[in-house]
Amino acid sequence: MSRRVVVTGLGLISPLGIGTDNNWAGLVEGRSGAGPITRYDPTGNSVQIAAEVEGFDPNAYLGPKEAKKFDLFVHYAVAAADMAVEQSGLTIDDSNSDRVGVVIGAGIGGLPLIARMHSALVDKGPRRVSPFFIPGAIINMCSGVVSIRHGAKGPNSATCTACSTSAHAIGDATLYIRHGYADAIIAGGSEAVISPLAIAGFASMRALSTRNDDPEHASRPWDKDRDGFVMGEGAGVVMLEELEHARKRGAPILGEILGFGMSGDAYHISAPAEDADGAIRVMRLALKDAQIDPDKVDYINAHGTSTPAGDRIETLAVKKVFGDHAKNLPVSSTKSMTGHLLGAAGGFEFGVSLLSVLNNIIPPTINLEEPDEENDLDYVPGEARETPVEIALTNSFGFGGTNACLVVGKPDLKK
């Protein structure tokens, strides 16, 4: 029997707030984190809205000298990892450092820093390119800095699978612990690319909502008037441990990772397959790994981006996988409140699923006023719902047809 993996710490950063408590309060309240872009002047652009993190001070975590070396996505990763490690209570020292790893990814990484350094090169010449440019922008530096900061000398890796990134990071970390490569791993993802180049790129694909006059209602998964996603930013990081390792030291066990699945669409660079094949298979693989029947799932935290095709196809996949149970299975999209955190989405939404299991509360899908005819599941519209949640499933689907699914259960589900 493989080693069981539990969660002992959680760190969340999103447009709803900094820290787990602030985020959970915003989700249960049904509050939107979207608004006009303030990072730069978007006047004249087709997209002028995003979901920005407010009030974050990187100096509080890294100090001014270190913070200057790295782009914002690294700052978020460090902060969220600090939160997860602190809650876990795990002391990392010479006695265990080689058994503690880090797997934190990003879907895009330091694009804003890349753009700034390119401008410096063009405008002022190569001498104005920072010596910290490369380490400050590369995706694996989230894991690198967190590893250095906490002295974690075990597996050190980074995933980069678009919007599935941090779900894959948590899944990979789970496999590493199951197979004995480590006893504890800090895992998740981070993203911060609200910038002129990134917004222009997604806008040119017509992936983003252009509801500039009403940003709080722009992210509206499954609604017939949805017109694309709202770009968000943030991080979701967990401390994972082998069950007996956590029990032995009296750690707070928040939940257990019951299952993990991965699949590929092999269909299109940005669109999901019309028959939902990849989404169907990834959920079935996660349920098989968890060794549970579909009707045991109490809640799905959906990928639910608010794109016309994506929402419809995820609904189809849920129907195919869950059959008659789909009619009674609550499915909600917290992206309706946070926007799309891209590479951080899977880690953040795994954290949301964990909190739903812990608190027996399902966050709502806000802005869902009139679903399409094909979107006919229970999307928990408008208000959070108190109901028993023993097992939750969360989906992450990325460009390139890369899919991940995680199943989390109550900490006492299996003795």
Which residues are marked as active site?
A: 163, 303, 340
Q: Which residue has the tokens 């790295």?
A: 70
Angle formed by the axes of helices 111-124 and 196-204, nearest 10°? 110
Q: Would you say 92 and 55 are in contact if contact means Cβ atoms under 8 Å apart?
A: no
Q: Using DSSP, state whether 309 is helix, strand or coil.
A: helix
- Whether the CB-CB separation of 221 and 136 falls below 8 Å is answered with no
- The dihedral through the CA atoms of 172, 90, 351, 178 has a sign that is positive
Residues contacting 32, CB < 8 A, separation 6+: 51, 215, 216, 217, 219, 336, 337, 366, 367
> Whole-angstrom Cα distance, residue 43 to residue 208?
16
Work out the number of other CB atoms within 10 angstroms of the CB of residue 114: 20
In a 10 Å sphere around its CB, with 0-12 CB exposed, 13-18 middle and 19+ buried, how is residue 116 labelled?
Answer: middle
Structure tokens of 268? 């299109």
CA distances (Å), 390 to each of 97, 358, 369, 378, in order? 33, 8, 29, 18
Phi-psi region of 56 (alpha: psi -120 to 50; beta: other; left: phi over 0): beta
Compute the distance between CA of residue 262 and CA of residue 285 in angstroms, rounded to an integer: 7
Q: Which residue has the tokens 């968000």?
A: 232
Rounded (10°) CA dihedral 245, 248, 253, 256: 40
Is residue 288 packed enough to be buried (19+ CB in 10 Å), middle (13-18) or exposed (0-12)? exposed
Q: How big is the CA angle at 339 (ends 333 and 344), to the nearest 5 degrees? A: 90
First to last CA, the chain: 14
